[in-house]
């Protein structure tokens, strides 16, 4: 049986399959109600944003943060009891940085969520699959050679092309006999990322612009510093586009949980759907990498944590992952600013310190489950 009725049956059945945490999802009914979960995450994001505006080398009391922000938004009745310097720090230095952290965290989290469904691999993530490395190579190539073919958008365009090329290369390398295994996918991602990183390092070593090479090297570690209001619109637009399209396609992502054959039986052109999604995810990743450098493991950790809270239905996971990723990266940036103050640690280093052990735990968990299934 095919058609709308059959598709509805699979959409109901697919989330009942074991999720990435090994438990039945049942359309998220084993998790918190979605409105409650989103409300809690939104409140956490608001509190995190206030903390991001207040905490730093110059501490600004939260009350003054609220006053500065509300007055900037047009609340003329708020009487300023802060210095001009503090207002500049909050509005011109920290606010763009906090917003970029929220946008990048949300974008990387939803990209990771979608990749894990498209490839049906719980270890899929832009950084691990070499997508971020491809985007970095594209962006650095533009910087080193001074390419301005697309004007101000040249950096993002090159990062998008690099991300898409790396993702297609990893996918093609890992696919054998029409199937992809977790081991081959991860190994292909590591191999492609290593090659692309080597090419990137070679570009940096051979460029004759030493100061620029040092700045680019620092950028490749991932960071939110240096962002301005003028550069925020493009990452924000990429996030809105990515989340909107993925939410529309959430039912198709659910279909893939039932397997490629079942999804095809229900009328989904899996190859064409994957191709369209790869282009979209590469676009979002490329724009985010161009804005803040490669920041790894956000797209690995956040989706798994969110599924434990709201279940496995992508209509629930995607918005929750966006908010959760935003909260996580805002706090990671706060830690990057204060852990070794006055020196600032690249935020990509901190996310790797968190994500590396999480990745190893996932690998051991999956190995144990495979052994249990083999012995039963």
Per-residue pLDDT of 154-204, as tens digits, reads 888 999 999 999 988 988 888 777 676 667 877 888 899 999 999 988 888
Give the tokens for residue 185: 């996918």
Q: What phi and psi, each to the nearest 5 degrees, are found at residue 132?
A: -65, -35
Dist CA 205 CA 190 (whole Å): 22
Answer whether residue 45 shows pLDDT above 80: yes
So what's the pLDDT on residue 297?
Answer: 93
Distance (Å, whole) CA 61 – CA 81: 11
Lookup: tokens for 253: 């992502």
- Is there a contact between 238 and 288 (Cβ–Cβ < 8 Å)? yes
In this predicted structure, what is the pLDDT of residue 41? Answer: 97
Rounded CA separation 249/277 (Å): 9
**Beta partners for 179?**
176
Q: Which string of b and e fits 44-72 if b means at least 16 CB within 10 Å?
A: bbeebbbebbbbbeeebeeebbebbbebe
Indicate the burial class of 184 (C-beta count within 10 angstroms; 0-12, 13-18, 19 or more).
Answer: middle
- What three-state secondary structure class fits 176? strand
Cα angle for residues 110, 231, 73 (degrees, 5° grid): 90
Please provide the average confidence, as pLDDT, over all residues in the chain.
Answer: 85
Q: What is the DSSP string of 90-112?
A: IIIIIHHHHHHHHHHHHHHHHHH
How many other CB atoms are found less than 10 A from the CB of residue 170?
Answer: 29
Mean pLDDT computed over 13-32: 46
Are residues 96 and 232 in contact, defined by beta-carbon separation less than 8 angstroms? yes
In the three-class reduction of DSSP (H, G, I as helix; E, B as strand; rest coil), residue 257 is classed as: helix
Determine the pLDDT at residue 1.
44
User: What is the helix (H) or strand (E) element at residue 133, kind and residue range?
Assistant: helix 131-145
How many of the other CB atoms lie within 10 Å of CB of 187? 14
Stated as kind and residue range, the H or E segment containing 41 is helix 34-54
- Encode pLDDT of 279-331 as tens digits: 999 999 999 999 998 999 999 999 999 999 999 999 999 999 999 999 999 99
**Average pLDDT score over residue span 215-229:** 83
- The residue among 93, 72, 17 whose CA lies nearest residue 254 is 17
What per-residue confidence (pLDDT) applies to 182?
64
């Amino acid at each position: 049986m095919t058609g709308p009725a059959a598709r509805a049956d699979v959409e109901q059945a697919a989330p009942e399959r074991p999720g990435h945490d090994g438990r039945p999802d049942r359309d998220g009914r084993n998790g918190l109600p979605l409105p409650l979960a989103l409300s809690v995450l939104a409140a956490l994001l608001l509190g995190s944003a206030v903390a991001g505006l207040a905490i730093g080398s110059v501490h600004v009391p939260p009350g003054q943060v609220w006053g500065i922000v509300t007055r900037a938004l047009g609340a003329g009745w708020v009487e300023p009891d802060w210095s001009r310097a503090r207002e500049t720090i909050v509005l011109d230095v920290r606010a763009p940085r906090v917003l970029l952290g929220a946008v990048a965290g949300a974008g990387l989290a939803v990209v990771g969520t979608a990749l894990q469904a498209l490839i049906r691999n719980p270890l899929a993530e832009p950084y691990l699959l070499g997508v971020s490395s491809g985007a970095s190579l594209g962006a650095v190539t533009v910087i080193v050679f001074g390419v301005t073919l697309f004007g101000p958008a040249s950096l993002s365009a090159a990062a998008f092309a690099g991300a898409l090329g790396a993702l297609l290369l990893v996918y093609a390398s890992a696919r054998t006999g029409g199937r992809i295994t977790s081991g081959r996918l991860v190994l292909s991602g590591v191999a492609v990322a290593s090659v692309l990183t080597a090419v990137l390092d070679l570009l940096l070593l051979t460029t004759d612009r030493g100061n620029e090479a040092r700045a680019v090297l620092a950028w490749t570690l991932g960071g939110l510093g240096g962002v301005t209001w003028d550069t925020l619109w493009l990452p924000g637009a990429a996030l809105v586009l990515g989340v909107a399209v993925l939410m529309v396609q959430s039912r198709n992502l659910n279909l893939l949980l039932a397997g490629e054959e079942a999804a095809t039986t229900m009328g989904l052109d899996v190859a064409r759907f994957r191709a369209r999604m790869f282009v979209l995810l590469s676009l979002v990743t490329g724009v985010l990498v161009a804005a803040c450098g490669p920041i790894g493991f956000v797209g690995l950790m956040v989706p798994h944590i969110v599924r434990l809270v709201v279940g496995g239905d992508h209509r629930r996971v995607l918005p929750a992952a966006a908010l959760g990723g935003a909260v996580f990266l805002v706090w990671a940036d706060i830690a990057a600013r204060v852990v070794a103050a006055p020196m600032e640690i690249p935020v990509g280093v901190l996310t790797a310190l968190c994500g590396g052990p999480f990745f190893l735990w996932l690998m051991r968990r999956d190995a144990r489950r495979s052994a249990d299934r083999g012995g039963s």
